[in-house]
Amino acid sequence: MVDISSLMSWTRHLRTRRGIQIFSHTTKMFRLHMTPFFQLLQRIFNTLDEFDSKFTFPLVAKTAQTHPDVVRWLCSFPHEIAIHGYKHVRYPFLTAQQQALEFERAIQIFKGMKIPFKGFRAPYNAYSEITMELVEKHKFNWDGGIGFHPNYRHGNNFFKIQLRNKRMSSYTCIPLCEWSDDRLIDSHRLSSEKMANILIHHMKKARQIRGVIMYDLHPIRIGQKKYIQCLNSLLSYANKIDAWVPTVSDAVDYWSKNHQWKGDAPVCCLLTGDIDNFTFFDFIRRI
Ligand SMILES: [Zn+2]
- Kindly report the CATH number assigned to the domain that includes residue 171: 3.20.20.370
Same domain, 129 and 3: no
Residue 21: band (very low, low, confident or very high) from pLDDT cuts 50, 70, 90: confident
Q: What integer is the mean pLDDT of 187-203?
A: 92
- For residue range 229-268, list pLDDT tens digits in order: 999 999 999 999 999 999 999 999 999 999 999 999 999 9
Which residue range is the domain that position 277 belongs to?
Answer: 36-286
Given this model, what pLDDT does residue 11 score? 52
Residues 4 and 97 in one domain: no
Residue 217 C-alpha to ligand 1 middle, in angstroms?
Answer: 11
pLDDT at 76 over 60: yes
Q: How confident is the model at residue 5 (pLDDT cuts 50, 70, 90)?
A: low
The pLDDT mean for the chain works out to 92
Same domain (yes/no): 226, 183: yes
Distance CA 248, CA 272 (A): 8
Q: Is the pLDDT of residue 176 over 80?
A: yes
| Structural domain count of the chain | 2
Distance in Å, CA 124 to ligand 1 centroid: 5
Q: Judge if 10 and 118 occupy the same domain.
A: no
**Interatomic CA distance for residues 274 and 123, integer angstroms:** 9
Query: Exposure of 166 by Cβ count < 10 A (0-12 exposed, 13-18 middle, 19+ buried)?
Result: exposed
**CB count, 10 Å around CB of 232?**
17
CA 51 / ligand 1 centre spacing (Å): 26
For residues 70 and 187, membership in a common domain is answered with yes
Residues 28 and 136 grouped into a single domain? no
pLDDT at residue number 17: 54
pLDDT of res. 13: 46
Is 70 found in the same domain as 7?
Answer: no
> Using CA atoms, how far apart are residues 239 and 53, in angstroms rounded to an integer?
9
pLDDT band at 117 (very low <50, low <70, confident <90, very high): very high
pLDDT for residue 203 is more than 80: yes
Return the pLDDT at 190: 85
Q: How far is the CA of 276 from the centre of ligand 1 (A)?
A: 5
Going through the chain in order, the beta strands assigned E by DSSP cover 56-59, 80-83, 119-120, 142-143, 172-173, 212-216, 268-272
pLDDT of residue 4: 55
Whole-number Å distance, alpha carbon 9 to ligand 1 midpoint, is 31
40 and 12 belong to one structural domain: no
Are residues 12 and 144 both part of a single domain?
A: no
Ligand 1 geometric centre to CA of 5 (Å): 36
Q: What is the DSSP letter of 120?
A: E
Ligand 1 centroid to 200 CA: how many Å?
23
Decide if pLDDT at 15 tops 60.
no
* More confident of the two residues 143 and 32: 143
* Residue 1 pLDDT > 60: no
Mean pLDDT of 64-89: 96
Q: How far is the CA of 2 from the centre of ligand 1 (A)?
A: 37
Q: How far is the CA of 240 from the centre of ligand 1 (A)?
A: 31
Residue type at 34 in one-letter notation = M
- Residue 174 CA to residue 135 CA, distance in Å, equals 14
Ligand 1 centre and the CA of 7: distance in Å?
32
